[in-house]
Amino acid sequence: MNMVAVNRTQVADRPNGRIHFFDLKPDEGSFLDDTIAGLSKPQKTLSPKYFYDQAGSILFDRICETEEYYVTRTELGLLASISGDIADLAGPESTVIEYGSGASVKVRILLDALERPAGYVAIDISRDHLTAAAQSIADDYLDLKVVALCADFANRIDLPSELDLGGEFRLGFFPGSTIGNFSPEGAQRFLCDARNLLAPDGALLLGFDLKKDQDILNTAYNDSEGITALFNKNILVRMKRELDAVLDVDAFGHHAFYNEAQGRIEMHLKAERDQTIILGEHKFELKAGESIHTENSYKYDMDQITTWAERLGFTCDATWTDPNEYFGIVFLSTGGEQPIGG
């Protein structure tokens, strides 16, 4: 596996201190190229990373507020209830390394609970989103060293050698069940890469959605307000606006279901009639009922996650679930050993 090198380092001023910005120049891909490649497959696909333009991000925030989508509120409640336990395990003056920078609600719960945290590193592939999130944390935690690291954590990364975090204990934070968007193989690669980054003295705090009754899962991704459907179809809206695609957005229906054999929710856009998508010189025919696969969200048992982690060199120090056992969080220490090969 190739290592990622630092190509540019920048320190951005803020009113009461400095944000340290490191750009590893991640390959963000090409919307057009990725779309053509996906639609050329026997099972047509669109990459879920293109869900998140401004409209898509707003729609996702609305999904998190729906009655049916239990994931966000369940995780927030669980995280708040165990934050003291996490602080005891991490100890004082740890540095939090967050994979993915969002609204920062969850990491604030963590930072508020930790004893004298030494620093905060946000890792995200989107530069604008990353710097805005880091700025927000820096403005509210004036004594905290804040670092924004532009990188793709789906691939192995190393912290820049010139980055002095200050704290000896590195606490990786990967909330939101985002690990479920990786394939099982990709999830294990992530765990291996995370251990390499956090070792020799560190831990990973990992959140994930647990397997449960299929009716609960299916309802969560088919909310009564139709917001998830709008979110799914927004990628078609982007194709029309940004790629000049010729297609009828209203001729596609949102289709989400739990695939028990694969242990995952699948999201598709199903053609409601025969149609053709035109992208420049490329034409893609769809028959009525044919679907475009847009996203997976894997659900796991607690034992499955801990078994993977321990096989990859972690030690599972603690596991937590909410009273309904909908969501799981684990504290995985690196065990003080040297990093393992990825």
Output the pLDDT for position 15: 44
Domain containing 242: what range?
44-66+214-298
| Helix, coil or strand: residue 66 | coil
Summarize pLDDT for 111-156 with one digit per residue, the tens: 999 999 999 999 998 888 899 999 999 999 999 999 999 999 999 9
Residues 134 and 262 reside in one and the same domain:
no
Domain contains 170:
yes
pLDDT over 70 percentage in the chain: 92
Summarize pLDDT for 81-123 with one digit per residue, the tens: 999 999 999 999 999 999 998 778 999 999 999 999 999 999 9
Output the pLDDT for position 335: 78
- List the CATH number of the domain containing 130: 3.40.50.150
Residues 247 and 261 reside in one and the same domain:
yes
Residues 88 and 192 reside in one and the same domain:
yes
Res. 342: pLDDT tops 60: no
Residues 223 and 165 reside in one and the same domain:
no
Domain contains 259:
yes
Which segments within 1-137 are labelled E, that is strand?
8-14, 17-23, 95-99, 119-124
Predicted confidence band of residue 166 (pLDDT cuts 50, 70, 90) = low
Which segments within the chain are labelled E, that is strand?
8-14, 17-23, 95-99, 119-124, 145-150, 170-174, 202-209, 252-259, 264-271, 275-279, 282-286, 291-298, 315-321, 327-333
Report how far residue 110's alpha carbon sits from residue 123's, in angstroms, rounded to the nearest whole number. Answer: 16
In the chain, how many domains are there?
A: 2
Report how far residue 293's alpha carbon sits from residue 269's, in angstroms, rounded to the nearest whole number. Answer: 7
Domain contains 35:
no
| Helix, coil or strand: residue 293 | strand
Report how far residue 116's alpha carbon sits from residue 32's, in angstroms, rounded to the nearest whole number. Answer: 46
Summarize pLDDT for 49-72 with one digit per residue, the tens: 999 888 998 999 999 999 999 999
Q: Cα dist. 286→238, 274, 276 in Å?
A: 19, 6, 6
Residues 62 and 18 reside in one and the same domain:
no
Residues 202 and 162 reside in one and the same domain:
yes
Residues 72 and 116 reside in one and the same domain:
yes
Please name the residue that has the structure tokens 């647990």.
210
Instruction: Point out which residues pair with 329 in neighbouring strands.
Output: 207, 320
Domain contains 2:
no
Domain contains 340:
no
* 156 φ, ψ (degrees, to nearest 5): -65, 135
Domain contains 3:
no
Residues 91 and 181 reside in one and the same domain:
yes
Domain contains 342:
no
Residues 104 and 197 reside in one and the same domain:
yes
Residues 102 and 203 reside in one and the same domain:
yes
Residues 128 and 237 reside in one and the same domain:
no
Output the pLDDT for position 2: 37
The sheet carrying 264-271 orders its strands as 252-259, 264-271, 291-298
Residues 207 and 314 reside in one and the same domain:
yes
Res. 29: pLDDT tops 90: no
Domain contains 338:
no
* DSSP result, 219-288: HHTS-TT-HHHHHHHHHHHHHHHHH--B--GGGEEEEEEEETTTTEEEEEEEESS-EEEEETTEEEEE-T
Residue 15 has, within 13 A of its CA and on its CB side, a CA count of 6
Report how far residue 263's alpha carbon sits from residue 121's, in angstroms, rounded to the nearest whole number. Answer: 32
